[in-house]
Structure 1
């Protein structure tokens, strides 16, 4: 259990926590939310520090083991990926390395035999092979491949090193975890793995994350930090939003009622202050106002409407890609990438990290040359590119306003300012130099420039990077109202699901384009890969049936015939299911195969029902 009691923290004149208190139970699954600067990371860090440096305001049960993941940790290591991960199991790993070190020396140096024997016993006692298998499974879940295990950590990017840090942390088997943006640098597939891992985990956690989908999936309560205070909300993130809106609405009503009461009393005070007979009445009203506990005006999120005129309409076909392939040196990344994007579509390009998603996107944007195949823009297409790292394309010496206006001279200055305001830039912040902006602020500025460009095709590379949930909602609303065509790469489940109407799934062998939302794509692929459950049931039941019992039935021949027919249909169903991998979604052949699969399932159900009746 973690108990926070009357904690106050301030940086200069800025109050972060104002006498806050909270009790956190070991199995709580807490989403920690609040605006940037509200103190989310600070709170996690203070709790983690209290483990080794006790604070009077934070007490932790001695039996509660706490693990902390900082978003800014830097892993420096000369070990391989698997060795660095296994080093989490300190004693077992040390015994293993000692045994490996001594093994070739023992033959020529008998004096080392005792040390070698001790190392072998300790390695066996700790069951290092089982621990190593756990580490490998964790790394595979986080996106590493079996072939990566012996690669040096020093050769990895910062994002992949963070995955090792996360793997080591999860292998600690702590009682309670403090996660500060653990999904940074993870792709969609790995995030889904982490979601399922956390949902099935026995430990509790406090999680800072800027993705609604993850907070909805894994959290059962929300702790909000606002204006130095904390507020608990039961349920996941969506439930928190609903409760927050209801509270805000009630608070707003109370605030306006109190303001009306204050105005009325001030009117009476002004009216009777000068009259001797009413002076005491006026004074009593003044004292009432002084004693009144003022309700702070609630913070409200304004609904913003967007309109981004397109300078010219494109033709029906906006982008056509045929048989595109790419290699780095002698290593092929992907091949047979073919698809057609039409006017008005909003298309998400997805694939696990390392599959070539960014490479294909850069080919579409003209940043990389097309090695094989063709990429053709349609008639009258004008595209604008949103780069993943805006710091490389913005002028750091200019203000926010000048950066936006200089790239969109055809837009009025008032229009530019209003759009910046819609993207959360205040009247004061539009004059800030780009050099002092945060990563999220730079992304918002870059998106304003893209949307005001007048392009009819937007190519967006990781547009949600560095954005908190409110900023993502503003961006989502803007892009939903955009009338042109969008192709984008993104790792935010909720954002993709609410923006994309088509999904392009890139694999090493081909591209498959699916109409519909990301959720419908997931449901389709899950159904496609789901094994036929009745097959196992029928086969198991049939083989487990004692032969002597079966011979007692006069229907034995029919039973044998049914089992053969069921096995044949199950084989045909498997063939049809496998065929979907090579068929374009929504095509005539696709529909034919769907109908055939449905027919086979009906036949299978009828035969299986008869088989069950006979053996019963």
Structure 2
């Protein structure tokens, strides 16, 4: 029996249809990722399932006695403490405890105690504290009032409440938007172990692949369910696209032959019946829609002129607020083409460092030297609060570029997919992803030499995230990225810094190594807590004081990773090239599948497109061969480093 059934569902907002006659079923225990472009209606569908949005038609049926929990993109507020707010999310427990305190009859009191024991009500504070700790709240923070936290941290409290309530069906709307990478990894592990059913809207590919066992696609008002994670979903959709394009090309050829026959023999009496038959056959032939988007998502960062190195240099710098020092002993050099990923928990100073580089924060000590003509582009999600909801993107860009004409203003917006219609829409009516595109357009309007991106993928859909990665790889300036999106960090940076304990420390390794380091650090912290401060080898490892065998293994691993960085960089470059070639190939195939190409009778254009396709196939084949060779070389080189323990990065932790 299914847990959730959606039958002939129709949803509209302001008369605009989002879903029409959509159907889907979700069985108990399934973990489903809900994907689709920005504005398709994913959040509205979750609201309809939870009962907070009335459908215009159809039915949504939840299994009898099934409990439902919904974590929205809205932050809680109030004077209650964090731990009290999370505990209150289990409404059954709260109601039973309130009834227990109201002096019920002895018989009813016995029933209450039996039910409280069944749901482990008295162990609830410990469970809630564990969830909050995983999301970054220490004991002191758990006892602070919710109103004392920023919007991003209050969203974490909302998420903690949803996880704690442990409903039969858990609805999650972009749960990683306000999490750092460490908390995202913790959430991924928690959701993997969750025994209930999950329906999750997310644009985080790593989370979808790590948690989802099926993908629900909301497209053109319909729902389709594909088994497997997001990677398998992409493979299936790609194959379907290729098959559809081949079928479209075949039908176009058949249609061309039929139309030629009709045009030639329509006037001849002996062929009239055959011509009529061909006309009827033409009418019956289905018209296949191209799966290649008519306007694919593309981002483009303007290219800056070269600067003499170094563009920026820090020597013993420190940064903070008032008299409170957040980061100290900062020494770093940035040159054109540098690609840095900044890792670390929230509150460790990542955004402080970004503001220091962007010149939004003055150093408290040390030296910060900048090239005289250095231009910095700084993107941060909190900048959305400064947007004027009653103004359009055009008006924002005109204010930011007073010297530019309308063509230049529209061109800068178009670099980030804000077409004429979106550019003339009030910001208050734009989706979160469209606002993020506007912020990117504003941040890069002066062709910066250094681009600082603080959580740029929040609210961007999957296609837009891919477009951002491609644009960053094409960008000729330097890049610093702070993000919980592991795929973005892996694809767009080539070295890492970790913010921890008031310092920035280089990390020699890739994201897989960083995940492993986080897991080892967490295990060490648990072992230390279990030993109540006893000086065990695990706790020493978590503090960076590893045993000699650990130190030797760590040094060897560090040396090996440093030697392998050029090879890893070449592999990433080849992967970006293959992605470009595959995208270009899909576009050419889409053009070849278009019926109007054959209707025009332009044989020269058809020949040129076929030649272009053959050239792309050749380049793609060569790139794939080289990639396989380099990947095999990397795997052989890494094989010895898999032996023995792995330590934490020097100086971090």
TM-score (norm 1): 0.75
Other-structure match for 1:489: 482
Closer, same or farther: CA 410–484 of 1 in aligned 2, 3 Å:
farther
In structure 2, the partner of 1:289 is 282
What CA distance in whole angstroms lies between the structure 1 residues aligned with 2:296 and 2:105? 74
Find the counterpart in structure 2 of residue 25 from structure 1. 27
1:189 match: 182
Deviates more, 1:204-213 or 1:31-40: 31-40
**Whole-Å separation in 1 of the counterparts to 2:395 and 2:545:** 62
Q: Aligned partners of 1:458 and 1:385: how far apart in 2? A: 6
Question: Residue deviations 1:354-407, cap 9 Å, x none?
Answer: 223222221222212222333332575332323434446668787646755775
Matched position secondary structure for 1:18: strand
Contact 2:87 2:125 (C-alpha < 8 Å) held by counterparts: yes
Instruction: Call closer, same or farther: CA 1:408–1:256 in 2, change over 3 Å.
Output: farther
Is 1:59 matched up with 2:49? no
- Alignment-derived partner of residue 464 in structure 2: 471
Q: Are 1:79 and 2:93 counterparts?
A: no
1:175–1:203 CA contact under 8 A, matched in 2: yes
Residue 43 of structure 1 and its aligned partner are, at CA, apart by: 2.3
**1:380 and 1:579 mapped to 2: Cα distance?**
44
- 8 Å Cα contact 1:269-1:286 kept in structure 2: yes
DSSP 3-state at the match of 1:574: coil
Match in the other structure for 1:5 = 7
Q: Per the alignment, do residues 155 and 30 of structure 1 end up closer, same or farther by CA in structure 2, a change over 3 Å counting?
A: same
> Counterparts in 2 of 1:194-593, with a 5 A limit?
194-300=187-293, 302=296, 308-316=302-310, 318-327=312-321, 333-378=326-371, 381-391=374-384, 400=393, 420-432=413-425, 436-451=429-444, 453-524=446-517, 526=519, 574-576=546-548
Residues of 1 paired with 2:252 and 2:475: CA distance? 40
For the Cα contact (< 8 Å) 1:315–1:380, is it kept in 2?
no
The whole-number CA distance in structure 2 between the counterparts of 1:203 and 1:573 is 40
- Contact 2:29-2:196 within 8 A present in 1 as well: yes
Shift of 1:443: 2.4
CA distance in 2, matches of 1:343, 1:328: 32
Deviations 1:543-572 (A, max 9, x none): xxxxxxxxxxxxxxxxxxxxxxxxxxxxx9
| Maintained 8 Å contact 1:50/1:59 | no
Query: C-alpha displacement at 1:459, in angstroms?
Result: 2.2
CA 1:213 to 1:319, structure 2 compared with 1: closer, same or farther past 3 Å?
farther
Task: Write out per-residue CA displacement over residues 309-347 of structure 1, whole angstroms, 9 at most, x where no aligned residue.
Answer: 322323046332524142555x55444444333442111
Q: C-alpha distance in 1, partners of 2:522/2:85?
A: 34
Task: String of CA shifts for 1:237-261, please: whole Å, max 9, x gaps.
Answer: 1111111111111111112222332
Residue of structure 2 equivalent to 1:179? 172
**How far apart are residue 414 of structure 1 and its match?**
6.9
| Corresponding residue pairs, total | 539
- How big is the shift at 1:33? 0.9
Change in 2 beyond 3 A, CA 1:387/1:314? farther
* Unaligned runs of at least 5 residues, structure 2: 525-543, 564-640, 646-653
Per-residue displacement from partner, 1:188-237 (whole Å, max 9, x unpaired)? 11111110001111112111011111111101111111112222222111
SS of residue in 1 equivalent to 2:436: helix
User: What SS is found at the alignment partner of 2:33?
Assistant: strand
Matched residues in 1 for 2:495 and 2:456: separation? 17
**Aligned equivalents of 1:98, 1:10: Cα separation in 2:** 41
Q: Which residue does the alignment assign to 1:614?
A: none
1:611 equivalent in structure 2:
none
CA contact (8 A) 1:338 1:510 kept: no
Q: Which moved more, 1:199-208 or 1:15-24?
A: 15-24
Match of 1:202, SS? coil
Contact 1:390/1:443, CA 8 A, preserved across alignment: no
TM-score by length of 2: 0.71
Instruction: Say if 1:410 and 1:497 are closer, same or farther in 2 by CA, change over 3 A.
Output: farther
Which of 150, 158, 164 matches 2:151? Answer: 158
Give the 3 Å change call, closer, same or farther, for CA 164–12 of structure 1 in structure 2.
closer
CA distance in 1, matches of 2:644, 2:488: 36
Alignment of structure 1 residues 37-48 onto 2, 5 Å: 37-48=39-50
For the residues of structure 1 that align with 2:345 and 2:382, how far apart are their CA atoms?
A: 20
- The answer to whether the 8 A contact 2:298-2:416 is kept is no
Q: Distance in 2 between matches of 1:421 and 1:497?
A: 27
CA separation in 2, counterparts of 1:437 and 1:230?
A: 24
**Structure 1: segments with no counterpart, 5+ residues:** 103-111, 532-571, 592-597, 603-616
Q: Distance in 1 between matches of 2:520 and 2:131?
A: 25
Deviates more, 1:471-480 or 1:155-164: 155-164
Taking a change above 3 Å as real, the CA distance of residues 430 and 513 of structure 1, as seen in their structure-2 partners, is: same
Query: What is the DSSP-based 3-state SS (H/G/I as helix, E as strand, rest coil) of the residue aligned with 2:29?
Result: coil
**Structure 2 residue matching 1:243: 3-state secondary structure:** helix
Name the SS of the counterpart of 1:171 in structure 2: helix
Change (3 A) 1:399 1:259: farther
Of 12, 18, 23, 1:16 maps to 18
* 1:26-45 Cα distance to aligned partner (Å, 9 max, x none): 11111111112222223222
Give CA-to-partner distance per residue, 1:396-450, whole Å, 9 cap, x none.
7876467557756999987876664453233544454556543322322332344
Which residue of 70, 73, 76 corresponds with 2:72?
70
Could you report, residue by residue, the CA deviation over 1:8-29 in whole angstroms, capped at 9, with x for unpaired residues?
3345664322323222101111
Cα distance, 1:349 vs structure 2? 2.1
Q: Which deviates the most, 133-142 or 399-408?
A: 399-408
Greater shift in the superposed pair: 247-256 or 460-469: 460-469
Separation (CA, whole Å) in 2 of partners of 1:53 and 1:485? 48
- The verdict on how the C-alpha distance between 1:406 and 1:518 changes in structure 2, with shifts beyond 3 A counting, is farther
| 18-27 vs 379-388, greater mean Cα deviation | 379-388
**Whole-Å Cα distance in 1 between the matches of residues 428 and 320 of structure 2?**
36
Matched, 1:145 2:138: yes
Q: SS state of the match for residue 269, structure 1?
A: helix
Separation in 1 of the partners of 2:419 and 2:321? 46
Distance 1:364 1:335, change over 3 A: same
